[in-house]
C-alpha cells in the first residue's frame, strides 16, 4: 500500500506545525531554525483551514481523477505492470519567480552549451582535437554512435528537446545531477499533475498566481514545425513511441493528443526513396519531423542495433539526407555520459566565453589518472556511476558495501577506469509531502524541460518534481518508484489563463488534412469493436441464463433437463467457444450442476473464451490506441477494468455475487459503445471499430438463434426460450408492443433476424457493415464492389429474400428446424469470411522491395 493511502489525523495546527526539517539538508518550506519561508505562508494557511478531513477529501479526489484518466507509470520491476497508477503528492513544490528567473538563465546557458558540444562531436570534433575532451571519454561510450557522424541538424540545433534534473545543496544552491538528452520523459506527467492539482484545489492554484504551462507546449509545436524538413505546408509531424509495453506509454499518448500529433510505432513507418513515410491504409504520407520517444540505439536496425523491432530500417539515412528531422538528433545520448560533467566548466569558457552559471555535482572521470587516484582515496564518500548504464539506474554506493564488495569495485575501476565516473554524494533537498497521517520532509528532485526555438531555448516554468517514499532513499527515480509532485513557479501578480489553442501559426493553413490511420491502428480499432461486443454479448447471455436457472428450483432433477435452460447453456458454450463446456465430453454432468462451469466463464482469467480474457483483450487493444480515445471513453475503460479486477481477485462463489458484478459491467460496456459511437469522429478509424462491432454482433446473434431455435421443443419450453432470446437481444419491449398474438418463433425471427430497423437484429448488422466497408480505403484502380462488399451483399440479400415461414418449418421428425439451422450456419461462415477478408486486405502487409535512396520529389510509386 502506498504511504499516502492512510487517513490523516491530528488537528489543523498540529498537521502543519509538527513539520520538522531534516538537519543539514536544505528544506523548501522551512528554514533550519524552523521559520516558514514567506512564499509558503499562503499554502500553509490553506492547509490549516482545510484540516485533515479537507486534505484527505482532496487527496481522494486527486486519486479518482488519476484513475479516471488512466494515468499510469510502470516502475522498474513492478509486478503490477502497466496497471500501476501514477502516484501524485497533493502538495506542490513552490519556487519564487525571481529565483526561477536566475535558474532559467543557467538552464538556457546549459542547453546552448550542450547543443554546441553535440554539434561538434558529430561534426568537426574540434573539442577532442584541442584536448578539451579526451577521445576515450567519447569514443568508448555506448551512447556515441559513429553512423550518426555527419548527419546534418536543421539550424544547427540537434538538441531540440532537453531536460535537466536538479536538487539543492545544504546552502540552497541549485545543482545539476543529470542531463536527459535522448528522448527526455516527464513533460506529459508534469502537465497531468498540473491538471489534477488545479482541479482539486482551484482557489489555491488561482490565488497563488502560478505560471501557466500552455505557453511552453506552444513553443514545442512551433519548434517542431520550424524544424520540419519541408518548408511548404502542410508539414507532417509524428511522435514515435516504443509501444504500449513502455513504462511511460501513457505520457506518449497524452502528449501526442495534446500536441495534435499522430502517435506512431516503428512498424507504422517506412523509409522509401530516402524519405520517411507513414504507412496508412490508403496511401503513404510523407513525414517531415519526428518527436521521438525511442532511445538512439533502437531507432534503426539497419545501421544501429540490428535486433531492434522498435525502429525503422533506413531512418539514419533519411536523416543524413536531410529529408526528415528527428528531435532529438540520433546520437544525442552521448550528452548523458555522467563523466562529461567533469569537463563542462572549461568547455563553457571555451565555447561561450563565460562561467558555467548552473554547476554540476562535483564529478571525476576515472579515465584521468589523477582523478582516479582521488576517487580511490575517497571512495567511501562518493557515488560511483558505471558509464553506459541507463540514466537513473544502478548507481553504486561504496560506503554501504562490505570490504569484499568494495575491494572488487576497486579492482574493476583499476582494470577499466574509462568506464567509471565518481560524484560527490549530495543528499537531495527536501520538500513537504503527504506521507500517511502526516506532512513530512522527503528528498526531492526537480526535472525541468527546455525546447529549442528560433531565438533560443524556452524553459517550462516549473516541471516534474519527484519525491522519495522514504527519507533515506539513496536515489530518486520514476523508474524505481516514488511520488510525483507538481512544481509551481509563483508570479507576483495574476497570470493570464492560457490554452494550447490560444494562438495559431499564421503561415499554416486553417484546416489541414487529417492523417489516415495506419494498419496497426486500424487493426486495434477493429478488435476493440469486436472484443467490446463479444464481452457485452457474453454478459447478456450469462445474466439471462442465471435468471432462468434461479427461476427453476430443483433444476438438477433429470426431468427438468428438457427445459429451456440446457439450450441457453449450450448457446453459452458455442458463443464463448469455451469447449467442451455444455456440449463436449462430460457435458451431462455439467448440465446437472452448471454453476462451476458458469462461474469459471465469469471469473477465471485462465479460461480460454471466458469473460476475463475477453475483457483483458479489450483493455490491451484500447491501450494500444489510447491516444484516439477521449478522456470520458477512457474513464469507462477504467470502470471495466475495475469490474474485471473485482471478478478475478475475489471470484464469486454463487450466482448472486456474480450478478452484482455483471449488472454494472454490462452498463459500462454499453456506455463504452455509446461513447465511441457518439464522441468519436466518424472517420476512417471509426469505420474499422464499427465494422468490428457489427461483425461480432452479427456472429453472436446468428450463434444465439442457431443454438436456441434449431431444436423444436414443447410449447412452454419454446415460450421460455423466445423470452430469453428477446431479453438477451434487448428486444422484449418492442416485441410486446408489435406482436399481440403471444410468443412465436416466426415473430421473433421477423424482429431479431430480418428487421433492418432493429439495432440488435442480424439484418441491421449487415446493413451497417456494408455501409462502413463501402467507406474503407480502396486501391485507385479498383472498380465495382470489393470482395468484402460482395461477401456482405450476398449475406444481406439472403436475409432479405428468405421466407421466414419456410425457415421455421420442422423436418420430417418434427423435432428440428433444419432450414433455419443451415442458413444461420451459412451466415456465420460468411461473416467469418468477411473478417478474414478485412484482415487480408488491411491488416497484413508484406513489405515490397524498395530503394532507401532515390528521387524524393517523385514520392512512392
Q: What is the CATH number of the domain that holds 396?
A: 3.30.1490.270
Q: CA–CA distance from 406 to each of 411, 708, 723 (Å)?
A: 9, 74, 77
Is 854 a domain residue?
no
Examine residue 66 and state whether it is found in any structural domain, yes or no: no
One domain for residues 183 and 319: yes
Closest by Cα among 291, 268, 228 to 516: 268
Residue 392: pLDDT above 80?
Answer: no
CB 612 within 8 A of CB 604: yes
Residue that wins the pLDDT comparison between 605 and 76: 605
Q: pLDDT at position 204, please?
A: 93
Residue 554 pLDDT > 60, yes or no? no
Comparing 320-329, 363-372, 492-501, the range with the smallest average pLDDT is 492-501
Q: Is residue 395 part of a domain?
A: yes
Does 701 score more than 70 pLDDT?
Answer: yes
CB of 833 closer than 8 Å to CB of 789: no
Nearest to 327 by CA among 249, 233, 219: 219
Which pLDDT does position 849 carry in this prediction?
A: 44
pLDDT band at 78; cut points 50, 70, 90: very low
Task: Name the nearest CA neighbour of 536 among 753, 699, 735, 656.
Answer: 699
Domain boundary among 424, 443, 463: 424
Q: Are residues 664 and 785 both part of a single domain?
A: no
Q: Is the distance from CB of 317 to CB of 856 less than 8 angstroms?
A: no
pLDDT digits (tens, 9 = 90+) for 238-270: 999 999 888 889 999 999 999 989 999 999 999
For residues 616 and 605, the answer to whether their CB atoms sit within 8 Å is yes
Same domain, 418 and 468: no
Question: What are the Cα distances from residue 266, in Å, to 2, 153, 271, 520?
Answer: 36, 22, 11, 11
DSSP string, 81-96: GGGPBPPB-SSPEEEE
What's the CA gap between 656 and 668, in Å, rounded?
19
Q: Is residue 550 part of a domain?
A: yes
The answer as to whether 350 is a domain residue is no
Beta-strand relationship, 289-292 and 325-327: parallel
Distance CA 737, CA 68 (A): 40
**Given a cut of 80, is residue 556 above it in pLDDT?**
no
Distance (Å, rounded) from C-alpha 315 to C-alpha 843? 23
CB 85, CB 66: distance < 8 Å: yes
Distance from C-alpha of 332 to C-alpha of 151, rounded to nearest angstrom: 12
Residue % of the chain over a pLDDT of 90: 66
656 with 800, same domain: the answer is no
Is the pLDDT at 743 greater than 80? The verdict is no
Grid cell in block for residue 335 = 550528452
Q: How far apart are CA 676 and CA 617, in angstroms?
A: 17
Residues 183 and 229 in one domain: yes
Would you state the pLDDT for residue 813? 87
Residue 663 in this model has a pLDDT that exceeds 90: yes
Judge whether 51 lies within some domain: no
Distance CA 673, CA 531 (A): 11
**C-alpha span between 282 and 692 (Å, rounded):** 19
| Position with higher pLDDT, 78 vs 180 | 180
Shared domain for 264 and 366, answered yes or no, is no
Nearest CA-CA partner of 426 in 444, 414, 412: 444
- For the full predicted model, state whether its pTM sits above 0.95: no
- pLDDT at site 861: 31
Strand order in the sheet with 363-365: 363-365, 420-424, 382-386
**pLDDT category of residue 477 using cuts at 50, 70 and 90:** low
Q: Are residues 248 and 323 in the same domain?
A: yes
Residue 49 has pLDDT above 60, yes or no: yes
Question: Are residue 156 and residue 226 in the same domain, yes or no?
Answer: yes
Give the mean pLDDT of the chain: 87
Instruction: Give the three-class secondary structure for 421.
Output: strand
In the prediction, which pLDDT does 506 show? Answer: 41
Measured distance CA(73)–CA(54) in Å, rounded: 27
pLDDT at 564: 84
Mean pLDDT of 170-174: 93
CB 747 within 8 A of CB 771: no
Specify whether 715 is located in the same domain as 657: no
pLDDT at 151 over 60: yes
pLDDT at residue 517 in the model: 84
Burial 25-56 (b: 16+ CB within 10 A, else e): bbbbbbeeeeeeeebbeebbebbbebbbebbb
Note down the domain range covering 694: 690-843
Cα–Cα dist 530/125, whole Å: 56
Q: Say how far apart CA 95 and CA 811 lie, in whole Å.
A: 84
Q: 664-682 pLDDT, tens per residue?
A: 999 999 999 999 998 888 9
Asked if residue 846 has pLDDT above 60, the reply is no
Ordered DSSP codes for 461-484:
SS-EEEE-SSTT-S---GGG--EE
The Cα–Cα gap between 831 and 829 comes to 6
Whose CA is closest to 771, among 791, 754, 789? 789
Q: What is the pLDDT of residue 389?
A: 62
Note the pLDDT of residue 500: 57
Name the pairing type of β-strands 464-467 and 483-490: antiparallel
Q: What is the pLDDT of residues 338-390, one digit of tens each?
A: 999 999 999 999 999 999 999 999 999 999 999 999 999 999 999 999 887 65
* Burial bucket for residue 24 (CB in 10 Å: 0-12, 13-18, 19+): exposed
The DSSP secondary structure of 692-725, one letter per residue, reads HHHHHHHHHHHHHHHHHHSB---HHHHHHHHHHH
For 45, the 3-state DSSP assignment is helix
Contacts 24+ apart (CB under 8 A), 319-324: 319/151, 320/150, 320/151, 320/152, 321/274, 321/275, 321/853, 321/856, 322/152, 322/229, 323/229, 323/274, 323/275, 323/276, 323/856, 324/229, 324/275, 324/276, 324/287, 324/288, 324/289, 324/290
Determine, yes or no, domain membership for 474.
yes
DSSP state of 235: P
Q: What are phi and psi of 654, to 5 degrees?
A: -150, 170
Longest dimension (CA), the chain: 101
**432 and 417, same structural domain?**
no
pLDDT for the residue 479: 55
As a whole number, mean pLDDT of residues 217-232 equals 85
Q: What is the domain count for the chain?
A: 4
When pLDDT is averaged across residues 495-521 and rounded to a whole number, the result is 60
What mean pLDDT comes out for the span 699-722? 90
Instruction: State the Cα–Cα distance between residues 326 and 537, nearest whole angstrom.
Output: 46
Non-local (6+) Cβ contacts of 124 within 8 A are none
**Grid cell in block for residue 458:** 524556452
Q: Are residues 471 and 605 in the same domain?
A: no
- Whether residue 819 is preceded by a cis peptide bond, meaning omega within 30 degrees of 0, is no
- Compute how many other C-beta atoms are within 10 angstroms of the C-beta atom of residue 207: 11
Stated as kind and residue range, the H or E segment containing 762 is helix 762-774
- Give the tens place of pLDDT for each residue, 405-438: 999 999 999 999 999 999 998 888 999 998 876 8
User: Mind listing the pLDDT tens digit for each residue in 291-302?
Assistant: 999 999 999 999
pLDDT in tens, 827-844: 999 999 999 999 988 886
**Residue 655 CA: distances (Å) to CA of 122, 539, 546, 547, 569:** 67, 13, 7, 9, 15
Domain boundary among 680, 702, 730: 680
Same domain, 212 and 256: yes
C-alpha count within 13 angstroms, C-beta hemisphere, residue 19: 28
Q: Which of 651, 680, 709 is the last residue of a domain?
A: 680
Could you please report the per-residue DSSP string of 534-558?
A: HHHHHHHHHHHHHHHHHHSTTTTSG
Strands 483-490 and 93-96, sheet pairing: parallel
DSSP alpha helices (H): ranges in 581-714?
587-592, 595-603, 611-624, 631-649, 655-679, 684-709
Whether residue 318 is predicted with pLDDT greater than 60 in this model: the reply is yes
pLDDT at position 674, please?
93
Residue 2 has a pLDDT of: 44
pLDDT at 507: 43
- For residue 173, give every residue at least 6 positions away whose Cβ sits within 8 Å of its Cβ, in sequence order, or none: 359
Tell whether 368 is covered by a domain.
Answer: yes
pLDDT (0 to 100) of residue 847: 45
Amino acid at each position: 500500500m502506498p504511504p499516502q493511502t492512510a487517513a490523516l489525523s491530528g488537528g489543523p495546527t498540529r498537521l502543519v506545525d509538527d513539520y520538522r526539517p531534516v538537519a543539514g539538508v536544505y528544506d523548501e518550506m522551512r528554514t533550519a531554525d524552523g521559520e516558514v519561508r514567506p512564499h509558503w505562508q499562503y499554502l500553509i494557511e490553506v492547509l490549516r483551514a482545510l484540516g485533515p478531513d479537507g486534505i484527505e477529501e482532496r487527496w481522494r479526489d486527486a486519486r479518482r481523477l488519476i484513475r479516471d484518466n488512466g494515468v499510469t507509470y510502470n516502475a522498474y520491476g513492478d509486478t503490477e505492470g502497466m496497471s500501476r497508477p501514477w502516484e501524485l503528492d497533493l502538495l506542490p513544490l513552490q519556487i519564487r519567480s525571481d529565483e526561477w528567473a536566475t535558474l532559467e538563465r543557467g538552464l538556457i546557458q546549459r542547453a546552448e552549451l550542450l547543443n554546441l558540444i553535440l554539434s561538434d562531436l558529430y561534426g568537426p570534433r574540434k573539442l577532442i582535437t584541442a584536448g578539451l575532451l579526451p577521445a576515450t571519454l567519447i569514443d568508448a561510450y555506448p551512447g556515441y554512435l559513429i553512423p550518426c557522424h555527419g548527419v546534418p541538424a536543421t539550424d544547427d540545433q540537434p538538441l531540440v528537446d532537453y531536460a535537466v534534473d536538479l536538487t539543492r545543496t545544504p546552502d540552497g544552491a541549485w545543482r545539476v545531477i543529470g542531463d536527459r538528452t535522448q528522448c527526455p520523459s516527464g513533460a506529459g506527467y508534469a502537465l497531468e499533475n498540473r491538471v489534477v492539482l488545479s482541479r482539486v484545489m482551484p482557489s489555491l492554484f488561482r490565488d497563488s498566481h502560478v505560471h501557466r504551462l500552455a505557453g511552453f507546449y506552444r513553443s514545442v509545436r512551433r519548434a517542431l514545425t520550424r524544424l520540419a524538413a519541408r518548408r511548404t505546408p502542410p508539414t507532417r509531424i509524428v511522435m514515435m513511441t516504443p509501444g504500449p509495453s513502455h513504462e511511460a506509454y501513457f505520457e506518449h499518448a497524452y502528449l501526442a493528443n495534446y500536441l495534435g500529433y499522430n502517435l506512431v510505432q516503428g512498424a507504422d513507418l517506412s523509409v522509401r526513396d530516402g524519405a520517411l513515410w507513414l504507412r496508412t491504409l490508403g496511401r503513404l504520407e510523407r513525414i517531415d519531423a519526428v518527436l521521438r520517444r525511442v532511445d538512439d540505439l533502437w531507432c534503426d536496425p539497419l545501421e544501429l542495433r540490428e535486433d531492434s523491432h522498435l525502429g525503422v530500417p533506413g531512418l539514419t539515412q533519411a536523416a543524413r539526407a536531410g529529408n526528415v528531422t528527428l528531435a532529438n538528433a540520433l546520437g544525442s545520448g552521448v550528452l548523458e555520459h555522467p563523466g562529461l560533467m567533469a569537463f563542462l566548466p572549461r568547455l563553457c569558457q571555451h565555447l561561450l566565453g563565460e562561467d558555467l552559471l548552473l554547476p554540476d555535482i562535483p564529478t571525476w572521470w576515472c579515465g584521468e589518472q589523477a582523478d582516479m587516484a582521488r576517487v580511490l582515496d575517497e571512495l567511501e564518500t562518493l557515488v560511483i556511476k558505471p558509464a553506459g548504464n541507463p540514466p537513473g539506474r544502478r548507481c553504486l554506493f561504496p560506503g554501504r558495501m562490505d570490504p569484499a564488495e568494495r575491494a572488487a569495485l576497486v579492482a574493476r575501476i583499476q582494470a577499466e577506469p574509462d568506464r567509471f565516473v565518481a560524484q560527490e554524494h549530495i543528499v537531495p533537498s527536501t520538500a513537504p509531502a503527504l506521507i500517511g497521517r502526516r506532512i513530512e520532509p522527503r528528498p526531492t528532485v526537480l526535472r525541468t524541460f527546455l525546447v529549442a526555438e528560433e531565438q533560443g531555448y524556452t524553459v517550462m516554468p516549473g516541471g516534474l518534481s519527484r519525491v522519495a517514499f522514504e527519507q533515506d532513499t539513496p536515489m530518486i527515480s520514476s523508474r524505481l518508484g516514488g511520488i510525483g509532485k507538481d512544481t509551481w513557479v509563483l508570479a507576483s501578480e495574476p497570470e493570464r489563463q492560457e490554452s494550447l489553442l490560444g494562438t495559431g501559426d499564421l503561415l499554416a493553413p486553417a484546416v489541414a488534412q487529417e492523417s489516415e490511420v495506419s494498419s496497426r491502428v486500424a487493426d486495434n480499432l477493429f478488435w476493440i469493436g469486436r472484443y467490446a461486443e463479444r464481452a457485452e454479448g457474453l454478459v447478456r447471455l450469462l445474466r439471462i441464463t442465471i435468471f432462468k436457472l434461479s427461476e427453476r428450483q430443483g433444476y438438477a432433477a433429470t426431468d427438468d433437463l428438457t427445459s429451456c435452460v440446457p439450450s441457453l447453456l449450450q448457446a453459452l458454450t458455442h458463443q464463448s467457444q469455451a469447449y467442451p463446456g455444455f456440449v463436449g465430453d462430460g457435458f451431462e454432468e455439467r448440465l446437472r450442476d452448471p454453476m462451476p462451469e458458469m462461474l469459471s466463464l465469469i471469473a477465471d482469467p485462465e479460461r480460454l473464451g471466458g469473460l476475463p480474457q475477453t475483457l483483458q483483450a479489450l483493455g490491451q487493444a484500447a491501450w494500444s490506441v489510447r491516444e484516439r480515445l477521449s478522456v470520458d471513453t477512457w474513464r469507462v475503460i477504467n470502470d471495466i477494468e475495475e469490474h474485471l479486477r473485482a471478478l478475478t481477485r475475489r471470484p464469486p462463489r454463487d450466482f448472486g455475487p456474480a450478478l452484482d458484478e455483471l449488472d454494472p459491467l454490462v452498463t459500462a460496456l454499453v456506455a463504452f459503445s455509446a461513447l465511441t459511437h457518439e464522441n468519436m469522429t466518424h472517420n476512417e478509424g471509426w469505420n474499422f471499430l464499427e465494422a468490428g462491432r457489427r461483425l461480432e454482433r452479427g456472429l453472436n446473434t446468428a450463434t444465439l438463434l442457431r443454438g436456441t431455435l434449431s431444436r423444436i421443443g414443447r410449447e412452454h419450453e419454446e415460450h421460455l426460450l423466445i423470452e430469453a432470446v428477446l431479453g438477451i437481444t434487448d428486444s422484449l419491449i418492442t416485441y410486446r408492443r408489435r406482436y399481440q398474438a403471444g410468443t412465436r418463433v416466426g415473430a421473433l425471427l421477423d424482429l431479431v433476424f430480418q428487421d433492418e430497423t432493429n439495432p440488435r437484429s442480424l439484418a441491421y448488422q449487415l446493413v451497417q457493415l456494408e455501409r462502413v466497408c463501402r467507406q474503407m480505403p480502396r486501391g485507385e484502380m479498383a472498380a465495382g464492389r470489393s470482395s468484402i462488399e460482395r461477401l456482405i451483399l450476398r449475406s444481406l440479400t439472403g436475409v432479405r429474400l428468405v421466407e421466414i415461414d419456410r425457415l421455421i418449418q420442422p423436418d420430417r421428425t418434427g423435432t428440428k428446424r433444419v432450414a433455419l439451422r443451415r442458413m444461420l450456419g451459412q451466415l456465420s461462415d460468411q461473416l467469418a469470411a468477411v473478417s478474414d477478408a478485412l484482415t487480408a486486405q488491411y491488416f497484413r502487409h508484406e513489405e515490397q522491395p524498395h530503394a532507401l535512396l532515390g528521387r524524393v520529389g517523385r514520392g512512392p510509386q
